[in-house]
């Protein structure tokens, strides 16, 4: 769905301390919801009153009577399943976001330092853009029928990295011409050393924003895959799977569908808003 | 929300050849036309090669998988000999390279190969693909219109309340997965209010029976993409606002609307075109998902069956069609970029 590219500082002087503090104050209201939501979703399993597979109500029982959000298609407690259903999604999205960001940070800097490698990576992004992520996931699910979560994670990392590389490369390009990078090149330092010691410390803002966006993108991919029944399998409690399983009973107990829908949406929205707050002020967002 | 400056990625995503100034200004006009044609040809060739590369990757990936169409469609208890015969019947015993060239050379003629069940993939996709394309296309048009309107509206009032509200709403909108949005829409617009049909019913020709059945799927696809592209439009216009000619127009006392639409927007178009073109993949992929929710007679149903039946040719054929559709939109974006670059210098 999304990728960012960051352009260079627009020549403004480095932010002063009070300026920085003001920026932090402005960012805080956008960071707190994400932190609270993540904490709640991760602590959920300990707060759940029932197990995820014990039938406690009638099929699609309405809310109330011991079940806060009613029952699902097998009479299991929707509230308990909701509390259990986020941890794995968040964990996987975190893993994908971290893997894509780390790979992209290294390859993006390499693309800038070695123009030939840069051209190859650029072409890879051109190819990847032609493959809708949903079709990509289906292909990987075919290739690796027993892969489950790992198949989806692999697909998301492979499909997401080319764009992310482009974002880092766009942000790193102006830095590569900086005097201290040229000096390091002249000293004969390796590309890896220049990347880690000279380039990446100056790309903190870009990399942080990139991680946030890749996390949101990963939530989209994992939940879409789960909705298409690729990844988590039925007895599991998973928000996207709950939406699909309980859709037939949406009129009997709307909460069985509404609650997991809201959970997925809130997860993506809070993290996305937090990301936009953390992004550097001279952030450039474009698609890739 | 952070100020957005999209110049960098646009530069990253275009071939330098297409973005560079079109030669010396003194060049003869016929000479220039020839060059333009040459450049257009080069872009076309490059996009086609990229599409071919994608298909090669997909085909190889599919081949590396354990199991093939013959074992996937075999009945339980089929003997090894029967499976081998089936493999020969489907032509799977020939070398990979030979099958790939056959498949690729047949593609331009509209032959997408044979599915695991022995049917022509082109026949299987003939009815559903236009339905998916119509869904994604309608969402595309809506996305372009809405994001241009909202982006311009925000840029006309920089830093004001309208700008902030549009900015945060856009950020919120593009985070919501389309199937989640679709579920919410069904609940509100159909089940609670009864305004729209919740399920798409196909008529005799295999198209949705009523146009109202398209509203919710199109909205579910267009809203997140509009959120994303509104930010791109807003950012591109912000970039242009600092350009000397826009500054001059503003100092001449022209109205904000006129400065925005006649002076800033043309320069921002290349970036906007690139951004919106890359939404095509999201719209097509999203359409496949949203279709399964509404029972829309499109590729979603076919692909779900293909995944369950391990029908790789069918999926490869769908990838080829989707890739071709995306390539066309990217070519259109190339055209917008080349035209703006040519006119601007």
Report residue B10 as tokens.
């646009």
Report residue B167 as tokens.
């900015």
Q: How many CA atoms lie within 13 A of B145 on its CB side?
A: 8
Residue B51 lies in a domain: no
CB within 8 A of B6, min separation 6: which ones?
A5, A7, A284, A285, A286, B232, B235, B236, B239, B271, B275
Q: Do B304 and A243 touch (CB under 8 A)?
A: no
Q: Which of B2, B7, B53 sits opposite A276 (nearest CB)?
A: B2
pTM for the whole structure: 0.80
Q: What is the pLDDT of residues A111-144, one digit of tens each?
A: 888 888 888 888 888 888 888 888 888 888 777 7
For the cut 50, the answer to whether the pLDDT of residue A287 exceeds it is: no
Of B173, B333, B181, B156, nearest in space to B241 by CA: B156
More confident residue, A6 or B338: B338
A154 CB near a chain B CB, below 8 Å?
A: no
Q: Do B285 and A132 touch (CB under 8 A)?
A: yes
Phi-psi domain of B160 (left: phi exceeds 0; alpha: psi -120 through 50; beta: other): beta
Q: Which of B17, B53, B183, B290 to mutate to test the interface with A (most CBs of A within 10 A)?
A: B183
Q: Distance (Å, rounded) from C-alpha B87 to C-alpha B70?
A: 5
* A3 pLDDT tier (thresholds 50, 70, 90): very low
HEC assignment per residue over chain B = CCCCCCHHHHHHHCCHHHHCCCCCCCCCHHHHHHHHHHHHHHHHHHHHHHHHHHHHHHHHHHHHCCCCHHHHHCCCCCCHHHHHHHHHHCCCCCCHHHHHHHHHHHHHHCCCCECCCCCEHHHHHHCHHHHHHHHHHHHHHHHHHHHHHHHHHHHHCCCCHHHHHHHHHHHHHHHCCHHHHHHHHHHHHHHHCCCCCCCCCECCCCCECCHHHHHHHHHHHHHHHHHHHHHHHHHHHHHHHCCHHHHHHHHCCCCHHHHHHHHHHHHHHHHHHHHHHHHHHHHHHHHHHHHHHHCCCCHHHHHHHHHHCCCHHHHHHHHHHHHHHHHHHHHHHHHHHHHHHHHHC
Residue B18 lies in a domain: no
Residue B93 lies in a domain: no
Report residue B331 as tokens.
């070519």
Asked whether the CA dihedral A288, B5, B7, B12 is positive or negative, the reply is: negative
Residue B274 lies in a domain: yes
For the cut 70, the answer to whether the pLDDT of residue A11 exceeds it is: no
Domains of chain A in start order, with CATH, are 29-42+65-278 (1.10.3720.10)
* B75 pLDDT tier (thresholds 50, 70, 90): low
Which residue segment(s) compose the domain that B139 sits in? Answer: 128-297
* A80 pLDDT tier (thresholds 50, 70, 90): confident
* B106 pLDDT tier (thresholds 50, 70, 90): confident
pLDDT, residue B3, reads 39
Angle (CA) A171-A172-A174 rounded to 5° is 90
- The number of residues in chain A equals 288
Q: What is the pLDDT of residues A216-249, one digit of tens each?
A: 888 888 888 888 878 777 777 788 888 888 877 7
More confident residue, A287 or A157: A157
Q: What is the pLDDT of residues B213-244, one digit of tens each?
A: 788 899 999 999 999 899 889 888 888 887 88
For the cut 60, the answer to whether the pLDDT of residue B178 exceeds it is: yes
Residue B197 lies in a domain: yes
For the cut 50, the answer to whether the pLDDT of residue B12 exceeds it is: no
Give the ipTM of the model, two decimals please: 0.77
Q: Do B12 and A170 touch (CB under 8 A)?
A: yes
* A280 pLDDT tier (thresholds 50, 70, 90): low
Average pLDDT, chain B: 78
Q: Give the domain CATH number at B235.
A: 1.10.3720.10
In chain B, what residues touch A127 (CB-CB under 8 Å)? 50, 53-54, 57
pLDDT, residue B150, reads 92
More confident residue, B241 or B15: B241
Share of chain B above pLDDT 90, in %: 8
Between helix B128-156 and helix B312-344 the angle, nearest 10°, is: 40
pLDDT, residue B45, reads 87
* B141 pLDDT tier (thresholds 50, 70, 90): very high
Domain count, chain B: 1
Give mean pLDDT, residues B126-148: 91
Place of tokens 């709640």: A40
In chain B, what residues touch A142 (CB-CB under 8 Å)? 62, 65, 307, 310, 312, 315
Q: Do A6 and B8 touch (CB under 8 A)?
A: yes
Average pLDDT, chain A: 78
In chain A, what residues touch B62 (CB-CB under 8 Å)? 139, 142-143
Place of tokens 């919106």: B276
Residue B155 lies in a domain: yes
Q: How far is A281 from chain B (nearest CA, A)?
A: 5
């Amino acid at each position: 769905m999304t990728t960012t590219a960051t352009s260079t500082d627009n020549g403004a002087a480095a932010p002063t301390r009070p300026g920085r503090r003001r920026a932090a104050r402005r960012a805080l209201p956008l960071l707190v919801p994400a932190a609270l939501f993540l904490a709640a979703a991760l602590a959920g399993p300990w707060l759940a009153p029932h197990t995820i597979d014990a039938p406690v109500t009638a099929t699609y029982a309405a809310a109330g009577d011991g079940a806060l959000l009613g029952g699902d298609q097998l009479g299991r407690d929707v509230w308990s399943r909701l509390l259990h259903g986020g941890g794995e999604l968040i964990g996987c999205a975190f893993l994908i976001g971290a893997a894509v960001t780390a790979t992209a940070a290294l390859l993006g800097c390499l693309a800038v330092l070695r123009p030939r490698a840069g051209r190859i990576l650029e072409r890879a992004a051109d190819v990847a853009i032609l493959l809708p992520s949903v079709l990509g996931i289906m292909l990987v699910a075919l290739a690796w029928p027993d892969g489950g979560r790992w198949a989806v994670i692999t697909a998301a990392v492979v499909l997401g990295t080319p764009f992310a590389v482009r974002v880092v490369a766009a942000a790193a390009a102006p830095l590569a011409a900086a005097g201290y990078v040229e000096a390091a090149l002249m000293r004969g330092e390796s590309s890896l050393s220049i990347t880690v010691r000279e380039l990446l410390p100056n790309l903190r803002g870009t990399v942080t924003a990139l991680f946030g966006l890749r996390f949101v993108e990963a939530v989209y991919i994992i939940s879409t895959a789960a909705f298409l029944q690729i990844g988590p399998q039925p007895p599991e409690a998973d928000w996207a799977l709950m939406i699909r399983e309980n859709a037939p009973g949406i009129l009997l107990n709307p909460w069985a569908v509404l609650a997991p829908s809201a959970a997925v949406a809130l997860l993506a929205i809070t993290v996305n808003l937090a990301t936009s707050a953390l992004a550097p002020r001279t952030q450039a967002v474009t698609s890739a | 929300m952070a100020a957005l400056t999209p110049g960098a990625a646009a530069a990253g995503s275009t071939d330098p050849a297409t973005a560079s100034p079109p030669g010396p200004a003194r060049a003869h006009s016929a000479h220039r036309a020839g060059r333009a044609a040459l450049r257009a040809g080069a872009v076309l060739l490059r996009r086609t090669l990229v599409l071919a590369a994608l298909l090669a990757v997909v085909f190889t990936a599919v081949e590396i998988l354990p199991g093939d169409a013959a074992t996937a469609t075999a009945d339980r208890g089929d003997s090894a000999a029967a499976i081998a015969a089936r493999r020969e019947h489907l032509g799977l015993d020939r070398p990979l390279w030979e099958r790939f060239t056959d498949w690729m050379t047949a593609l331009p003629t509209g032959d997408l190969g044979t599915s695991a069940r022995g049917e022509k993939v082109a026949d299987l996709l003939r009815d559903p693909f236009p339905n998916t394309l119509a869904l994604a296309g309608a969402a595309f048009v809506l996305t372009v219109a809405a994001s241009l309107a909202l982006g311009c509206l925000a840029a006309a009032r920089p830093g004001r309340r309208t700008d902030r509200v549009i900015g945060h709403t856009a950020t919120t909108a593009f985070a919501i997965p389309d199937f989640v949005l679709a579920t919410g829409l069904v609940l509100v617009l159909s089940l609670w209010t009864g305004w729209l049909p919740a399920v798409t019913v196909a008529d005799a020709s295999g198209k949705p029976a009523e146009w109202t059945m398209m509203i919710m799927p199109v909205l579910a696809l267009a809203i997140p993409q509009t959120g994303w592209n509104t930010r791109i439009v807003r950012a591109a216009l912000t970039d242009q606002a600092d350009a000397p000619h826009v500054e001059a127009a503003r100092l001449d006392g022209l109205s904000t609307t006129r400065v925005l639409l006649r002076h800033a927007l043309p320069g921002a178009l290349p970036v906007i075109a690139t951004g919106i073109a890359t939404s095509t993949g999201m719209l097509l992929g999203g359409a496949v998902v949203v279709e399964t929710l509404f029972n829309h007679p499109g590729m979603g149903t076919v692909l779900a069956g293909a995944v369950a039946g391990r029908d790789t040719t069918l999926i490869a054929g769908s990838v080829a069609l989707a890739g071709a559709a995306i390539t066309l939109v990217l070519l259109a974006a190339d055209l917008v970029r080349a035209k703006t670059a040519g006119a601007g210098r």
